[in-house]
């Protein structure tokens, strides 16, 4: 039932039976492979049965250091799949976890799509901006530690609308070369992607909380991790 990843993804299928799949893939291809699998799985049912509400895909991805015991990694993957992607986010979701040797974690979960926009793709789309320093390490640290964490639970009490949160992100991101129209377009695109991946989107399509009440930087942290930036430089830049 599941289409296997293309060889170009450099993945190894460990188990594929019924609608279950377990595979090992490199860091830089696994999310692309997951997007491709979900799209093809959904497309198979759309083409064959024309179902308005067909079967959905729930998936878990765990990034782990090669020193991590495989049993623990598999346990984490199963936990994220069952407790987070399926239960907490109401299925039809992708849950991603990064297990770091330091013990810190990155945990991000979202529906596959929101308004026909791929949310895991939006994470990947942030990577070029991080690599070009359009999204600096200082921005991620400032947003997380000096704004969200500084307000703590009071952040929910602000009840920021999506437009107000958009203004906060734009202000924190900054507008270098303000007379550069290309830069302004980049800022708008980055802010929209940050809103998509940072605002909860349940897999069943139910109305998420207000953007300001539950915004998270976990998706941004994941993008920095995938870009090879662990955040330490952000702490140094903001010091």
d(CA 219, CA 199): 9
Q: Mean pLDDT of all residues in the chain? A: 84
How big is the chain, counted in residues? 239
d(CA 116, CA 49): 21
Positive or negative, the CA dihedral 117, 123, 128, 132 is positive
Which whole-number Å values give the CA distances from 110 to 47, 53, 59, 138, in the listed order? Answer: 25, 19, 10, 25
Residues 198-235 have pLDDT tens digits of 999 999 988 877 777 788 889 999 999 999 986 544 44
3-state secondary structure of 213: helix
Position 73 pLDDT exceeds 50: yes
pLDDT (0 to 100) of residue 233: 46
Positive or negative, the CA dihedral 4, 84, 79, 195 is positive
Which whole-number Å values give the CA distances from 7 to 13, 24, 117, 120, 153, in the listed order? Answer: 11, 12, 26, 21, 46
> Nearest 10 degrees: CA dihedral of 74, 79, 82, 86?
-110
Positive or negative, the CA dihedral 229, 145, 193, 180 is negative
* Assigned fold of 7-120: Alpha-Beta Plaits (3.30.70)
d(CA 147, CA 141): 9
Residues 92-130 have pLDDT tens digits of 999 999 998 877 689 999 999 999 999 999 999 999 989
Could you tell me what percent of the chain has a pLDDT over 90?
Answer: 48
pLDDT (0 to 100) of residue 54: 75
pLDDT (0 to 100) of residue 202: 95
Confidence class for position 51, pLDDT limits 50, 70, 90:
low
Q: Which of these, 54, 51, 67, 148, lies nearest to 103 by C-alpha position?
A: 67
Confidence class for position 173, pLDDT limits 50, 70, 90:
confident
Between the ranges 45-59, 102-116, 139-153, 156-170, where is the mean pLDDT highest? 102-116
Placement of tokens 């239960």 in the chain: 87
Neighbouring residues of 4: CB distance < 8 A, sequence distance ≥ 6: 13, 16
* Cα 5 to the center of its chain, rounded Å: 20
């Amino acid at each position: 039932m599941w289409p296997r990843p293309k060889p170009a993804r450099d993945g190894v299928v460990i188990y594929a039976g019924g609608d279950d799949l377990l595979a090992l893939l490199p860091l830089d291809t696994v999310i692309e492979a997951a997007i491709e699998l979900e799209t093809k799985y959904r497309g198979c049912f759309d083409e064959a049965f024309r179902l308005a509400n067909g079967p959905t895909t729930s998936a878990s991805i765990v990034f782990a250091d090669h020193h991590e015991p495989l049993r623990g990694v598999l346990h984490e993957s199963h936990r994220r799949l069952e407790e987070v992607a399926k239960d907490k986010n109401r299925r039809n979701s992708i849950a991603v976890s990064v297990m770091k040797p330091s013990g810190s974690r990155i945990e991000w979960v979202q529906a596959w799509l929101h308004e026909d926009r791929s949310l895991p793709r939006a994470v990947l789309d942030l990577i070029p901006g991080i690599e070009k320093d359009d999204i600096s390490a200082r921005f991620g640290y400032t947003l997380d530690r000096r704004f969200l964490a500084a307000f703590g639970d009071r952040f929910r009490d602000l009840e920021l609308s999506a437009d107000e949160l958009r203004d906060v992100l734009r202000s924190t991101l900054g507008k270098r070369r303000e007379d550069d129209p290309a830069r302004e377009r980049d800022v708008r695109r980055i802010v929209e992607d940050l809103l998509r991946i940072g605002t909860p989107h349940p897999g069943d399509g139910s109305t998420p909380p207000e953007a300001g009440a539950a915004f998270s930087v976990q998706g941004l942290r994941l993008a920095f991790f995938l870009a090879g930036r662990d955040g330490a430089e952000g702490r140094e830049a903001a010091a």
